[in-house]
Amino acid sequence: MFNDWFSIGSFTIHGYGVMIAIGILMAFFYGERMAKKYGLDANEVDNLIFVCLLSGFLGSKIVFILTNWNGFLKNPMAYLGADGWVVYGGILGGIVGGWLWCKFRKLNFWDYANLMFPAVALAQGFGRIGCFFAGCCYGKETTGLGIVFPSGSLAPAGVKLIPTQLMSSFGDFLLFYILYRVYCNKETRSMTAGLYLVLYSIGRFILEFFRGDESRGFIMGLSTSQFIAIFLCIAGLILVVRRRSAEQKAG
């Protein structure tokens, strides 16, 4: 909504970028603190976050290009710029990058994944506040409770829109709290990563019905994110069941 905070010469501080940076810093802070508390290597957590950020940004851009393939073929450079990301691509890219890094470093992937998925939700919560400042990921027009964005925002100006960015941010922070409590409980710790996939996918699937931006792509009547959410939710459920079963056998 108010994305241009202030300028120093030709350099402008944007609210979107500030919130993304805060989210990343909070992920580092949380990851290091929890690693020290639960006996994992804090330095490896830092390395893992850095790797997942790079692979996540790459995955996010790749999925964005795939969902806008025809436009990409017409003007590739327009889609390779700073604008245009898909969160699920970032999640998948981060998972793949994290798995490869753990394999390279001979670390137990699930130990670190369960530790870090609450941090993912925390970072996303701040990131969605950034979306609100920029006006991206906006909701449908509404006559009820809504937000009117000014001109210059990525959202349509002068019309009341459902505040999907703030709804998503609240959901992400709530998800962080739930996952944090799950991880702190030794009996449920191994299910943290799977529960993230399940709960985030359910929330995202529902929220997509309120989104108003059409550029995110559609598959068989569902948005790209809803389509991916179905498979990730199933994968998360399988993971929860398998990890729970493994814990019971070990106990």
Q: Rounded to an integer, what distance in angstroms lies between the CA atom of residue 64 and that of residue 207?
A: 19
Those residues with Cβ within 8 angstroms of residue 64's Cβ, 6 or more apart along the chain or in another chain? 79, 84, 85, 86, 89
Q: What is the mean pLDDT of the chain?
A: 89
What does the block give as tokens for 203?
A: 């929330």
Confidence class of residue 87 from pLDDT cuts 50, 70 and 90? confident
Give the per-residue pLDDT at 11: 72
Give the per-residue pLDDT at 48: 95
- Give the H or E element holding residue 138: none
Give buried/exposed letters for 166-192 (b at 16+ CB in 10 A, else e): ebbbebbbebbebbbebbeeeebbbbb
Strand partners, 6: 13
pLDDT tops 90 at residue 81: no
The CB density around residue 221, as the number of other CB atoms within 10 Å, is 7
Q: Rounded to an integer, what distance in angstroms lies between the CA atom of residue 192 and that of residue 26?
A: 19
Those residues with Cβ within 8 angstroms of residue 164's Cβ, 6 or more apart along the chain or in another chain? 137, 138, 139, 207, 210, 211, 212
Q: What is 56-88 written as a DSSP string? A: HHHHHHHHHHHHTHHHHHH-HHHHHSSS---HH
Give the per-residue pLDDT at 1: 61
123 within 8 A of 27, measured Cβ to Cβ: yes
Q: Averaged over 64-83, what is the pLDDT?
A: 71
pLDDT tops 80 at residue 249: no
Helix H segments across the chain? 15-37, 42-67, 69-74, 76-80, 87-105, 109-134, 164-184, 192-207, 224-250
pTM of the model: 0.89
Give the per-residue pLDDT at 28: 95
pLDDT tops 90 at residue 79: no
Instruction: Please report, rounded to a whole number, the percentage of residues in the chain having pLDDT higher than 90.
Output: 63
What does the block give as tokens for 96?
A: 């793949």
Those residues with Cβ within 8 angstroms of residue 98's Cβ, 6 or more apart along the chain or in another chain? 48, 51, 52, 55, 109, 112, 113, 116
Query: Helices 15-37 and 42-67 sit at what angle, rounded to 10 degrees?
Result: 140
Domain that holds residue 16: 4-250
* Domain count within the chain: 1
Highest-scoring range by mean pLDDT, 77-81, 151-155, 162-166? 162-166
Give the per-residue pLDDT at 146: 93
